Amino acid sequence: MDRTIPVYILSGFLGSGKTTLLYRLLEYWKNEDMRPAVVMNELGEVNFDGIMVDKSVPMAELLGGCICCSASADLSMELNTLVKKESPDVIVIEATGAANPLDIIDNVTETSLYSNVELKGLITVVDAAHLLQLYREQKGASYRLMQEQIRSASVLILNKTDRVSPEEAEEVNGVLRKWNAFAEIIPAVRCEVDPERLINRTDNSAFVEISESAPETDASASTTMEGLTEALETDVIDINRAAHDHVMAYTHFFKNPINSVEFEAFIKELPADVYRAKGVLTFNDTSGRFLFQYAYRESDFLKINPQGEVTDVAVFIGEHFSSGDLRKKLLKLEGRGFTLPGSVKRSL
């Protein structure tokens, strides 16, 4: 008889730590002699997160769009193909940071009607410092999207607690509890959590309960059950409409290596509207190639040795920034004029 393959969705806003968690889960399943498969979804044209995944792990890539909307039909198809071709023991879907998880839940549960998959859990990773900042401002499409990702979770990882004080961590913990009364909240740095605890805590009854009830939205929300339900529904509609309207990505393909010091200076001067960037780079003043990561003013360079042909490329994600300005600056770093093509601009 065909067995049912458990599916886990990793959700969380851009740069919160989903890929960091994915690597930990893959390592755990490998040590358990299990065969995981991954569905990777990226807003940009390139799957940077997949570069570091062991080649033995079957991976489906959905690039240049979001599985909660434009690529939603593709998600069902990819899940089906993975099940039929690879017969994995478990499947993890890493959503883009701009994805509305409710749409992905719908998609996976629909797929389970005709394929041997079963949604087991939705793990939302939260950047403690970023949520705190948005919570204090109490506005914006990113804030509402983050709320939705938190409300739909069966387990919440309160990540990046190294970037907040213990008092602030306590405050964010309270916000999570207010928005999601059911999910276990696990504080972490670099998603260092016991995977067993994480997986055992996730089961789909948790988010069925959540989506049918109405947790308190914020301090100003109505306290009647009716008012709360209404507030929740209004938010969902807003998010569906706005989730991708406000997020844009610019992908830049490099033709020449660049100077590392100049690149770091460029990164320091990135407009605040660019909140996430990642790329594979070759520098002309240092040997080797690097996986570059940038999230909310923190950057990271990891020396890598990519298998196969991987071009130098970087994606910049944010809201309302000028991709033309970024392109000009990057071309200058490369020692190229301003007229050559070689970049892709995408509005999501």
Ligand X SMILES: Nc1nc2c(ncn2[C@@H]2O[C@H](COP(=O)(O)OP(=O)(O)OP(=O)(O)O)[C@@H](O)[C@H]2O)c(=O)[nH]1
Shortest Cβ 219–ligand X spacing (Å): 27
Shortest Cβ 274–ligand X spacing (Å): 12
Provide the angle, in degrees to the nearest 10, between the axes of the packed helices 141-151 and 166-179.
70
Nearer to ligand X, 232 or 326 (CB): 326
The answer to whether the beta carbons of residues 14 and 98 sit under 8 Å apart is yes
Contact between 65 and ligand X by CB under 6 A: the answer reads no
Interface with ligand X: number of residues (CB under 6 A): 22
Shortest Cβ 222–ligand X spacing (Å): 32
Among 30, 190, 246, 332, binds ligand X (CB under 6 A): 190
Residues in the chain: 348
Contact between 162 and ligand X by CB under 6 A: the answer reads yes
Radius of gyration of the chain (CA): 20
Scanning residues 262 to 291, which ones bind ligand X (CB under 6 A)? 276
- From residue 299 to residue 338, the character string flagging contacts with ligand X as x (rule: CB under 6 A) and all else as - is -x--------------------------------------
Scanning residues 132 to 161, which ones bind ligand X (CB under 6 A)? 159-160
Nearer to ligand X, 48 or 135 (CB): 48
Nearer to ligand X, 130 or 327 (CB): 130
Count how many Cα atoms sit within 13 Å of the Cα of residue 138 in the half-sphere of its side chain: 7
- From residue 69 to residue 108, the character string flagging contacts with ligand X as x (rule: CB under 6 A) and all else as - is ----------------------------x-----------
- Beta-carbon neighbour count of residue 82 at 10 Å? 22
Among 18, 120, 130, 144, binds ligand X (CB under 6 A): 18
Among 17, 50, 58, 121, binds ligand X (CB under 6 A): 17
Shortest Cβ 187–ligand X spacing (Å): 10
Shortest Cβ 320–ligand X spacing (Å): 18
Nearest partner of 122 among 206, 8, 25, 199, judged by Cα? 8
Nearer to ligand X, 137 or 298 (CB): 298
How buried is residue 28: exposed, middle or buried, by Cβ count under 10 Å (0-12/13-18/19+)?
middle
Shortest Cβ 299–ligand X spacing (Å): 7
Contact between 19 and ligand X by CB under 6 A: the answer reads yes
Contact between 244 and ligand X by CB under 6 A: the answer reads no
Q: What is the DSSP string of 151-199?
A: HT-SEEEEE-GGGS-HHHHHHHHHHHHHH-SSSEEEE-STT---HHHHH
Nearest partner of 124 among 62, 206, 54, judged by Cα? 206
What are 159's strand-pairing partners? Answer: 127
Contacts of 250 (CB under 8 A, 6+ apart): 315, 316, 321, 323, 326, 327, 343, 344, 345, 346
Nearer to ligand X, 272 or 340 (CB): 272
CA distances for 70 relative to 185, 240, 251, 297, angstroms? 31, 12, 18, 29
Beta strands, E only, the chain: 5-11, 36-42, 59-63, 90-94, 117-127, 155-159, 184-187, 248-253, 274-282, 289-295, 298-304, 313-318, 343-347
Shortest Cβ 56–ligand X spacing (Å): 21
Contact between 189 and ligand X by CB under 6 A: the answer reads yes
CA angle in degrees (0–180, nearest 5) for 121-300-54: 50
Nearer to ligand X, 19 or 204 (CB): 19
Scanning residues 33 to 52, which ones bind ligand X (CB under 6 A)? 49
Nearer to ligand X, 156 or 214 (CB): 156
Residue whose pair of structure tokens reads 């002309």 in the numeric block: 284
Site of interaction with ligand X (CB under 6 A):
12, 14-20, 49, 97, 159-160, 162-163, 189-191, 276, 293, 295, 298, 300
